[in-house]
C-alpha cells in the first residue's frame, strides 16, 4: 500500500486507476543508497524511473573546471530519471544521494513491457508525459528569458566598464607623456615611447577581441593608417584583420536554427563547425549544399546588435565632448557617416543586395565577386559561392604562385576607381581580408557589408579634387573642394593660394598620393597647414559623404604599398588615371593646363613615360 501511494504522487502516473498502479508497483523494485552514492551520472545513459521513498538527493552539473554545482534538491515523493523511459539520450545532470535514501525503481525495459501488456496505461502515461514536458518547457522558457534579460543587463555594464576603463588608461598614459615633455621637461626616450604605444595597442586589441563589433571594426580601420599611427599600433592591429576570436559552434548553430527552423547539419549537406575566418560582425564557415555546390556561410555574432549599440553610444559621447573644442568641424556629421554603414553591416540581406550590384559593376574588369544563394540567406545568415584564394597581404603565397603583383594591384586600383569615380557606388572597406588573389592571379572582392553610394555632386567634386591635386591643376583642385561643399566660391582665391604652396611640395605629395612619410613630424606639419587653411576659409563647412571614401582611398593606397612596396602607388595608378583624366578634359577643357612646377613637371614626365610603356 505504501508503494502504491508513492507512485500516485508521480505527476504522470496520477491518472492511473488503483489496478493500473498495482501493475506499476509489481514492475518496480526497491533500491537503497548511502550518502555520496551517484545514482545517475551526467552524460551517461539513463536506466529508468526513480521515485524517492525516503531521504534526499542533490541534482548537480559539472562546470568547465570540473567542479560540481548543485542546481536543485529532491525530497520524498520527488522523481527523476523519467526521460530515460522515452529516450536513450545521455543524461543532462548527475543525481547524488545526500544521506541514506530509499527509492522505488522501474527500469526502462520493464516500463516498455508494462505499457505493451497494458495499452491503457501507455495511453494515460504518454499523454501525461506530454503535458508534464510542455509545462517544463514553458517554465524553462520563462526562466531562460529572465536569465537572458539579467545577463544582458550585466553584459551591457561589463561592456561599458571594459571599454571605458581601456579608453581611460590609454588617455592618461598619453597625458602623462605630454606632462613629462611639456611641464617637467623630461620627455620619454624613443624606446620608452615605443613601449607605451605597444602597450596601449595591446590594451585596445584585447578588449576588441573580447567584445568584437565596432571595436574590431575600429581596429581594422586603424590598421590601415600607417601614414598616421605609430608602427607599434599597426603591427598589433593587423591581427584584427583576420584573427578575430571566433564564436563557439553551438551559438552559431543556434543562430542558424533561429533563422531557418533547422540546424546547419540539416540545412546543408555538410557544414564545417570550425570557421575559416572570424571578423568584427560575424564569422565564416565552409559548407556544401545538398545540390553539391561548395559555399561559405557568414553568420553574425550573437549579441552583436547590443554590442554595437553600446559602442556607438560611447563614440557619440566622445564625439560630443570633442565637439565642444572644435570651432569649424561638425563632428556630429562625421559620426553620422560612421554610424550609418556600421548599422547596415548588421543586415546581411543588405550585403547580399550590394554583392549582386557590385558583381554587375565589376564584371567588365575581370574581377570575381561571389554568387549569392538567396534561399540560404537571411538578415543574420548569408550564403555565398566559395572562392579559393588568399588575402592580398599573404605575400608569401602570392609570390610562390609567381603572380604579377603590379598587374594585380592595377586591377585592384582600376576596380576601385571604377566604383568611386564612374559608378559612385563603392566598397568602403577594401582592406586585405576583403580582397583575394586566386591561384590564377585573378582579383576577387568580398564582404560588401560596408558600401557607399556617393551623390553626383560629391563624386564629381572628389574627382576634380584628386585629379587636380595629382596633376597639379590648382583650379581643378579648388573647384572640386567647392563642388563637394567644403566651402563656397568666394573662398577660391584662398584655396588656390594654399594649393600652389603645398601641392608642389614633394613631401606633401608623397604623403597624399603614396602615403610615404619618413618623419612623423612632417605629417604633423601637413595637418597643421591644413588646419591653418581651414581657419582662413570664411565659408568652410564639414563636407558630407566624404569620410568613408577618404578612408577607403587611404586603405587602397596602403594595400598597394604593402603588396608592391618597391614601387610608388602613384606610378602604378598613373596609367589607370590618365584615361579618366582625359574624359574630364573633354567636359572641362579649361582645366587642361598643368601648373608649371619643377617637382610636378619632372614627376609627370616620368609617370607619362611609364604610362606609355605600359
Per 3-state DSSP, what percentage of the chain is helix, strand, and coil (rounded to 5)? 60, 15, 30
Distance CA 426, CA 526 (A): 28
Does residue 6 have a pLDDT over 50? yes
| 163 shares a domain with 110 | no
Place 145 in a pLDDT band, splitting at 50, 70 and 90.
Answer: low
- Domain containing residue 181: 151-242
Residue 428 covered by a domain: no
Average pLDDT, the chain: 82
Lowest mean pLDDT, pick from 427-431, 505-509, 511-515, 604-608: 604-608
| 107 shares a domain with 45 | yes
| 158 shares a domain with 106 | no
| 460 shares a domain with 605 | yes
| 511 shares a domain with 460 | yes
Residue 590 covered by a domain: yes
Place 520 in a pLDDT band, splitting at 50, 70 and 90.
Answer: low
Report yes or no: 486 and 530 within 8 Å, Cβ to Cβ. Answer: no
Q: Which residues are catalytic?
A: 429
- pLDDT by residue (tens digit) across 92-104? 889 999 999 999 9
Report yes or no: 604 and 612 within 8 Å, Cβ to Cβ. Answer: no
| 159 shares a domain with 105 | no
Distance CA 153, CA 45 (A): 37
Q: What is the pLDDT of residue 422?
A: 78
Lowest mean pLDDT, pick from 45-54, 212-221, 513-522: 513-522
| 604 shares a domain with 483 | yes
Determine if residue 283 is left, alpha or beta; phi over 0 gives left, psi from -120 to 50 gives alpha, anything else beta.
beta
Among residues 242, 261, 287, the one where a domain terminates is: 242
| 107 shares a domain with 165 | no
| 207 shares a domain with 107 | no
The tally of domains found in the chain comes to: 3
Residue 402 covered by a domain: no
Place 327 in a pLDDT band, splitting at 50, 70 and 90.
Answer: low
| 582 shares a domain with 522 | yes
- pLDDT by residue (tens digit) across 355-404? 999 998 888 888 999 999 999 999 999 999 999 999 998 999 999 999 99
Residue 55 covered by a domain: yes
Residue 13 covered by a domain: yes
Does residue 272 have a pLDDT over 80? yes
Strand pairing report for 270-271 and 282-288: antiparallel
Distance CA 311, CA 524 (A): 29
Q: What is the pLDDT of residue 251?
A: 85
Long-range residue pairs from 575-583, CB within 8 A, at least 24 positions apart, any chain: 575/410, 575/610, 575/611, 575/614, 576/410, 576/413, 576/414, 576/417, 577/417, 577/467, 577/470, 578/608, 578/611, 580/417, 580/421, 580/422, 580/463, 580/467, 581/467, 581/471
Residue 326 covered by a domain: no
Residue 480 covered by a domain: yes
Q: What is the pLDDT of residue 64?
A: 60
Q: What is the pLDDT of residue 230?
A: 76
Q: What is the pLDDT of residue 551?
A: 80
pTM of the complete model: 0.64
Place 490 in a pLDDT band, splitting at 50, 70 and 90.
Answer: very high
Place 138 in a pLDDT band, splitting at 50, 70 and 90.
Answer: low
Residue 576 covered by a domain: yes
| 572 shares a domain with 517 | yes
Distance CA 8, CA 22 (A): 10
Report yes or no: 553 and 515 within 8 Å, Cβ to Cβ. Answer: no
How much is the average pLDDT of 531-538? 80
| H helix or E strand, kind and range, residue 48 | strand 48-54
Q: What is the pLDDT of residue 292?
A: 96
Among residues 242, 268, 292, the one where a domain terminates is: 242
Percentage with pLDDT > 70 across the chain: 83
| 88 shares a domain with 166 | no
Place 601 in a pLDDT band, splitting at 50, 70 and 90.
Answer: very low
Does residue 610 have a pLDDT over 50? no
Among residues 70, 94, 117, the one where a domain terminates is: 117
- pLDDT by residue (tens digit) across 7-61? 877 877 888 888 888 898 899 999 999 999 999 988 888 889 999 999 999 999 8
Amino acid at each position: 500500500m505504501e508503494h502504491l501511494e508513492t507512485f500516485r504522487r508521480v505527476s504522470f502516473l496520477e491518472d492511473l486507476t488503483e489496478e493500473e498502479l498495482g501493475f506499476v508497483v509489481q514492475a518496480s523494485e526497491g533500491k537503497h543508497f548511502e550518502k555520496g552514492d551517484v545514482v545517475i551520472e551526467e552524460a551517461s545513459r539513463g536506466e529508468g524511473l526513480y521515485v524517492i521513498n525516503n531521504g534526499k538527493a542533490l541534482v548537480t552539473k559539472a562546470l568547465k573546471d570540473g567542479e560540481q554545482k548543485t542546481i536543485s534538491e529532491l525530497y520524498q515523493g520527488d522523481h527523476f530519471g523519467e526521460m530515460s523511459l522515452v529516450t536513450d539520450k545521455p543524461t543532462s545532470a548527475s543525481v547524488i544521494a545526500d544521506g541514506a535514501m530509499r527509492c522505488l525503481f522501474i527500469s526502462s525495459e520493464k516500463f516498455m513491457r508494462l505499457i505493451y501488456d497494458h495499452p491503457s496505461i501507455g495511453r494515460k502515461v504518454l499523454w501525461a508525459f506530454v503535458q508534464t514536458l510542455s509545462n517544463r518547457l514553458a517554465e524553462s522558457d520563462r526562466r531562460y528569458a529572465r536569465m537572458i534579460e539579467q545577463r544582458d543587463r550585466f553584459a551591457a555594464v561589463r561592456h561599458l566598464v571594459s571599454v571605458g576603463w581601456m579608453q581611460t588608461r590609454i588617455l592618461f598614459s598619453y597625458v602623462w607623456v605630454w606632462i613629462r615633455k611639456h611641464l617637467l621637461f623630461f620627455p620619454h626616450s624613443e624606446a620608452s615611447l615605443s613601449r607605451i604605444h605597444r602597450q596601449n595597442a595591446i590594451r585596445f586589441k584585447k578588449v576588441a577581441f573580447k567584445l568584437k563589433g565596432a571595436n574590431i571594426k575600429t581596429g581594422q580601420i586603424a590598421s590601415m593608417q600607417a601614414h598616421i599611427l605609430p608602427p607599434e599600433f599597426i603591427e598589433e592591429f593587423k591581427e584584427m584583420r583576420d584573427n578575430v576570436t571566433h564564436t563557439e559552434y553551438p551559438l552559431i548553430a543556434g543562430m542558424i536554427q533561429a533563422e531557418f527552423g533547422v540546424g546547419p547539419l540539416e540545412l546543408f549537406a555538410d557544414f564545417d563547425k570550425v570557421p575559416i575566418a572570424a571578423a568584427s560582425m560575424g564569422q565564416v564557415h565552409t559548407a556544401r549544399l545538398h545540390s553539391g555546390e561548395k559555399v561559405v556561410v557568414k553568420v553574425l555574432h550573437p549579441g552583436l546588435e547590443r554590442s554595437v549599440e553600446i559602442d556607438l553610444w560611447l563614440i557619440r559621447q566622445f564625439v560630443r565632448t570633442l565637439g565642444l573644442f572644435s570651432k569649424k568641424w561638425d563632428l556630429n556629421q562625421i559620426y553620422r557617416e560612421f554610424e550609418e554603414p556600421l548599422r547596415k553591416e548588421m543586415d546581411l540581406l543588405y550585403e547580399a543586395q550590394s554583392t549582386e550590384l557590385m558583381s554587375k559593376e565589376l564584371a567588365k574588369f575581370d574581377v570575381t565577386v561571389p554568387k549569392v544563394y538567396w534561399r540560404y540567406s537571411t538578415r543574420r545568415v548569408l550564403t555565398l559561392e566559395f572562392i579559393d584564394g588568399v588575402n592580398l597581404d599573404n605575400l608569401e603565397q602570392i609570390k610562390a604562385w609567381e603572380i604579377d603583383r603590379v598587374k594585380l594591384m592595377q586591377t585592384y586600383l582600376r576596380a576601385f576607381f571604377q566604383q568611386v569615380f564612374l559608378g559612385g557606388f563603392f566598397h568602403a572597406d577594401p582592406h586585405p581580408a576583403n580582397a583575394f588573389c586566386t591561384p590564377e592571379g585573378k582579383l576577387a572582392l568580398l564582404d560588401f557589408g560596408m558600401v557607399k553610394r556617393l551623390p553626383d555632386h560629391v563624386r564629381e567634386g572628389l574627382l576634380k579634387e584628386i585629379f587636380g591635386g595629382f596633376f597639379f591643376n590648382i583650379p581643378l583642385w579648388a573647384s572640386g573642394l567647392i563642388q563637394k561643399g567644403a566651402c563656397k566660391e568666394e573662398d577660391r582665391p584662398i584655396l588656390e593660394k594654399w594649393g600652389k604652396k603645398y601641392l608642389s611640395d614633394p613631401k606633401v605629395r608623397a604623403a597624399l598620393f603614396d602615403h610615404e612619410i619618413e618623419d612623423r613630424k612632417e605629417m604633423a606639419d601637413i595637418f597643421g597647414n591644413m588646419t591653418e587653411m581651414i581657419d582662413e576659409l570664411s565659408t568652410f563647412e564639414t563636407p558630407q559623404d566624404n569620410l568613408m571614401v577618404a578612408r577607403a582611398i587611404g586603405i587602397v593606397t596602403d594595400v598597394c604599398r604593402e603588396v608592391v612596396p618597391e614601387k610608388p602607388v602613384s606610378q602604378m595608378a598613373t596609367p589607370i588615371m590618365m584615361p579618366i583624366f582625359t574624359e574630364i578634359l573633354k567636359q572641362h577643357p579649361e582645366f587642361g593646363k598643368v601648373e608649371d612646377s619643377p617637382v610636378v613637371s619632372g614627376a609627370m614626365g616620368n609617370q607619362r613615360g611609364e604610362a606609355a610603356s605600359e
